[in-house]
Amino acid sequence: MLSLVTTPQDLDDRFRETLAALPAVARRRDPADPVSDDAPLTGAQVLDLFDAQVTSRQLDLAGRWLRSFGEGFYTIGSAGHEGNAAVAAALRPTDPALLHYRSGAFYCVRAAQAVVGPASTADPESPKSVPQGSVPPGSVSPDPAQPTERSTDPERLDDPERSTDPEPTDLQPTGAEPPIGGFAPYADAARDVLRGMVASSQEPIAGGRHKVFGRADLAIVPTTSTIASHLPRAVGMGLAVERLRRLDSAGRRTGAGARVGSGSAAPWPPDAIVVCSFGDASVNHASATAAFNTAGWYDHAGLRIPVLFVCEDNGLGISVRSPEGWVEATLRARPGIRYFSADGADPVRTYEVAAEAAAWVRRNRRPAVLHLRTVRLMGHAGADAESAYRAPAELTEDLERDPVVATARLLVDAGVATGEELLARYDETGWQVRRLAEEVLGEPKLASAADVVSALAPRRPVRVARAVADAAAQASGPGAGARAEAFGGKPPELAGPMTLAQSINAALADGMLDHPQMAVFGEDVAAKGGVYGVTKGLRDRFGAARVFDTLLDETSVLGLGLGAGLAGMLPVPEIQYLAYLHNAEDQLRGEAATMQFFSRGAFRNPMVVRVAGLAYQEGFGGHFHNDNSVAVLRDVPGLVVAVPARPDDAAPMLRTCLASAAVDGSVCVFVEPIALYHTRDLYADGDGEWMAGYPEPGAWVAGHVPIGRARVYRVGSADDLTIITFGNGVRMSLRAAAALAEEGVGTRVVDLRWLAPLPVADIIRESSATGRVLVVDETRRSGGVGEGVIAALVDAGYVGAARRVAAVDSFVPLGPAARQVLVSAEAITDGARTLLAR
Instruction: Enumerate the active-site residues.
Output: 625
Secondary element (H or E) of residue 371? strand 368-373
Residues across the chain: 838
Residue 429 phi, psi (nearest 5): -65, -40
Residue among 537, 532, 576, 529 nearest 557 (CA): 576
Burial class from Cβ neighbours inside 10 Å (0-12, 13-18, 19+) for residue 387 reads: exposed
3-class DSSP assignment, residue 240: helix
Residue 780 phi, psi (nearest 5): -80, 155
CB-based contact 832:723 (threshold 8 Å): yes
Q: Are strands 801-807 and 772-780 parallel, antiparallel or unpaired?
A: parallel
SS (H, E, C) 665-725: CCEEEEEEEHHHCCCCCCCCCCCCCCCECCCCHHHCCCCCCCCCCCEEEEECCCCCEEEEE
**DSSP structure string for 509-531:** HHHHHH-TTEEEEETT-SSS--T
* 135, amino acid identity: V
Burial class from Cβ neighbours inside 10 Å (0-12, 13-18, 19+) for residue 132 reads: exposed
CB-based contact 283:328 (threshold 8 Å): no
3-class DSSP assignment, residue 466: helix
CA distance 808 to 616: 14
DSSP code for 3: P
Q: Are strands 259-260 and 570-575 parallel, antiparallel or unpaired?
A: unpaired
**DSSP structure string for 611-647:** EEE-S--SS--STTTS----HHHHTSTT-EEE---SH
CB-based contact 566:605 (threshold 8 Å): yes
CA distance 97 to 213: 10
Q: Which long-range contacts (CB under 8 A, 24 or more apart) does 147-156 make?
A: 147/355, 147/356, 147/359, 148/40, 148/352, 148/355, 149/40, 149/352, 149/353, 149/355, 149/356, 149/359, 150/38, 150/352, 151/353, 151/356, 155/360, 156/356
Bridge partners (DSSP) listed for residue 670: 610, 642
CA distance 474 to 827: 47
CA distance 655 to 634: 21
